[in-house]
Amino acid sequence: MPPRTNAKKAKARAKAKAKAKAKVQAEADENKPSFDVDESVAAAVLEKVTSTRDRLALACVSQVWKNAVTSEGAWGTCDLVLVGELGERLTDERFERLLCYCGDIKHLEVRDAPADFKGNFLSGEGIAAKFASLESFELTNCSGVDSTQVVDFMEAIGMSARAKEKRLRCLHLAGCDVAEMDHHHIATLHDCLTANRDDVFYEQGEGTLKKVPSVICVQNKANLDLWWCEWNCELIIPTSEVKICNYCLSAFCGSCAEHEDSFCCGCGEFTCRDCREEIDPAEDYFCDDCGERFCEECLFKGKIDMCRGGACSDKEGTNKRCFKAYCEPCRKKKNIIFGICYECFGVWCSDCGFHKDGPDLNSCFGQGGCYKSLCGQCEKETKQFYAFCCGCCESWCPDCDPGVDFYPDASDQVLCPTCAGA
């Protein structure tokens, strides 16, 4: 036999090495934990999995898992949540298959489904049993779904006929097709809720009065997120677009509300025309520069200031007030300063505050001061006399007084220590 060449030796070594590696891999595979189980174990595990995405992922592991996940009613009583990629790739056929996997759906949520997802699945035999335990129903941004079909679906499963506590916690349809809906459909959907929307959506005002929340663009604030415009157009609108009168609580779409021209520029509060004719006009405040309207709450929050005086303004010698009002941007633009008395809460512009017939407003604006202000009348009544330096023309309240006094060696006037060189 001829001697082996170097090439043959290298080939033999590589073959031996591959054989040894394959043996090691085989031993490792033999000892490696496996997720392959029989269908009974798979069904038991599936009962503990609550995520729709995780259930579908298990179906890709093996045929055993696929059989367990995709058999009819295998998911039992469950939540069916199709958001993100699951929602974006959804079709009626896929959803019909998913319904088969579910036993009884408690929470249904679909987001951002494509336009060809029509929701035709919401009918047929056995649909009531499939949704016997339904607690919440959310189809968001599903433009292909006709909302009137949802109304028919709710009637088909007898939702409004159930005991009040057995009805829906929330019913969201924002972004679905509402072209064929009217106020009767909204009333039907409202009857499917466990709680009256007014009790959930509105904030509690004084006594038994309800108040429109300050931020109403958050859709989840309402358990039913569709509204009927009660003005001329009668459109159906989502919570994110509704405008609600803060007095009569009537709902308007954006176009009809703009026609009413009754928005507070500070907080966006809306008042319909009928209510504006009945309420006290003193509750409205208009900027003397830009003419924009503000509500009373915005006045108290400082979004608009008015030279309105205070309790002391009715007393002799302090009745100077011009009633001019300026919003925050105009106030900064025109460099108009307002002062407030921290005792009587009176407010004066700088012209009226320091007028000879004004309130003799004093402010702690000196270096290190707290900027607390008092009108002259309150200063006398509370005996909180302000110190004034004749050198720097700054003043301080008693708490912040740096030591304003006579310094004979410096001047015959009252000075602060800094001006006196002390």
| Local mean pLDDT, 10-residue blocks, the chain (422 residues) | 61 75 62 59 79 87 84 89 94 91 93 91 77 94 93 92 94 93 93 87 62 51 86 85 84 84 80 78 81 85 86 62 90 88 86 80 86 85 87 89 83 84 72
Burial class (CB in 10 A: 0-12, 13-18, 19+), 205: exposed
Do residues 331 and 356 lie in contact, with contact meaning Cβ atoms separated by under 8 Å? no
| pLDDT value, residue 1 | 46
| pLDDT value, residue 348 | 87
| pLDDT value, residue 356 | 78
Do residues 52 and 81 lie in contact, with contact meaning Cβ atoms separated by under 8 Å? yes
| pLDDT value, residue 134 | 94
C-alpha closest to that of 159 among 196, 128, 117: 128
E-assigned strand segments in 132-195: 136-140, 170-172
**Would strands 104-111 and 77-82 be described as parallel, antiparallel, or unpaired?**
parallel
| pLDDT value, residue 185 | 94
d(CA 68, CA 260): 60
pTM above 0.75?
Answer: no
pLDDT (tens digit per residue) in 315-369 = 554 567 888 999 999 998 988 888 888 888 888 888 888 787 778 888 888 888 8
